[in-house]
């Protein structure tokens, strides 16, 4: 059983945000660091993957839809990616990194002190693009949890880039928010599990990070991209308005 687990989701290839979170004492001391998907689709994909793989077996990897899209693009299974930076990020990966992403599992399970059996996924336990939100209806949670092992008392997901913790059908559901593309509030958002749940935010020098991305990333649209996402210019209200129809409302 793990004493404490740090959950990092939706890094999206933003190296300075990832470095800031990895420098947090609680992350450095955690028994495991779980990545709940969308790890590399962003301005520094190769560098982010190299930093995380260097951490060895402490890291538990879960695939996200954006990771899958990078692999499919590189392997000729799709000709475009919804996120404009996606094709550039896919081409920036080494072949061994494409193989790494291709082999990531859709879910992972750990026993965490105080929480019991915890299932980690990207969007929902059954799909890497499905949308559930902090205010999703009880019937929606029943639907997405259909068939889930009753022993799982906590589900940790990402995908929507907005942190929350709530009960749904007797299970605790946690979304740590996004490291590299936060909606609603700036900073790098993550979660610390065990024995309870802490939703955490790491503040870092965003202007310096934007300047560094503009300097180091070769994608032609990196300036507007970095300014928009690192400064969290999409509000939580904006995001909920976009995601709401995908939640079936």
Confidence check: pLDDT of 248 > 90: no
What is the three-class DSSP state of 222?
helix
pLDDT band at 154 (very low <50, low <70, confident <90, very high): very high
157-187 confidence digits (pLDDT tens): 999 999 999 999 999 999 999 999 999 999 9
52-97 confidence digits (pLDDT tens): 999 999 999 999 999 999 999 999 999 999 999 999 999 999 999 9
CA distances from 104 to 58, 122, 203 (A): 15, 12, 29
0.75 exceeded by pTM: yes
pLDDT band at 249 (very low <50, low <70, confident <90, very high): confident
Confidence check: pLDDT of 5 > 90: yes
60-70 confidence digits (pLDDT tens): 999 999 999 99
User: Given this model, what pLDDT does residue 46 score?
Assistant: 98
């Amino acid at each position: 059983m793990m004493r404490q687990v740090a959950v990092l989701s939706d890094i999206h290839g933003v190296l300075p945000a990832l470095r800031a979170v990895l420098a947090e004492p609680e992350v450095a001391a955690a028994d495991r660091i779980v990545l709940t998907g969308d790890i590399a689709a962003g301005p520094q994909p190769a560098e982010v993957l190299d930093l995380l793989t260097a951490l060895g077996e402490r890291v538990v990897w879960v695939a996200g839809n954006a990771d899958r899209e990078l692999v499919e693009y590189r392997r000729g299974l799709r000709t475009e990616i919804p996120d404009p930076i996606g094709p550039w990020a896919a081409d920036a990966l080494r072949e061994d990194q494409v193989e790494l992403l291709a082999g990531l599992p859709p879910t992972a399970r750990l026993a965490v002190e105080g929480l019991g059996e915890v299932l980690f996924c990207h969007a929902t336990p059954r799909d890497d693009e499905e949308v559930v939100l902090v205010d999703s209806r009880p019937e929606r949670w029943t639907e997405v949890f259909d068939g889930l092992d009753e022993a799982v008392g906590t589900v940790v997901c990402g995908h929507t880039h907005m942190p929350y913790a709530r009960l749904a059908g007797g299970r605790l559901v946690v979304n740590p928010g996004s490291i590299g593309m936060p909606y609603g509030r700036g900073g790098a958002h993550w979660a610390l599990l065990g024995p309870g749940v802490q939703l955490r935010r790491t503040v870092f020098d965003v202007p310096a990070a934007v300047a560094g991305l503009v300097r180091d990333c070769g994608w032609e649209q990196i300036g507007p991209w970095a300014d928009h996402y690192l400064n969290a210019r999409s509000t939580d209200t904006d995001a909920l308005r976009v995601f709401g129809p995908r939640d079936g409302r």
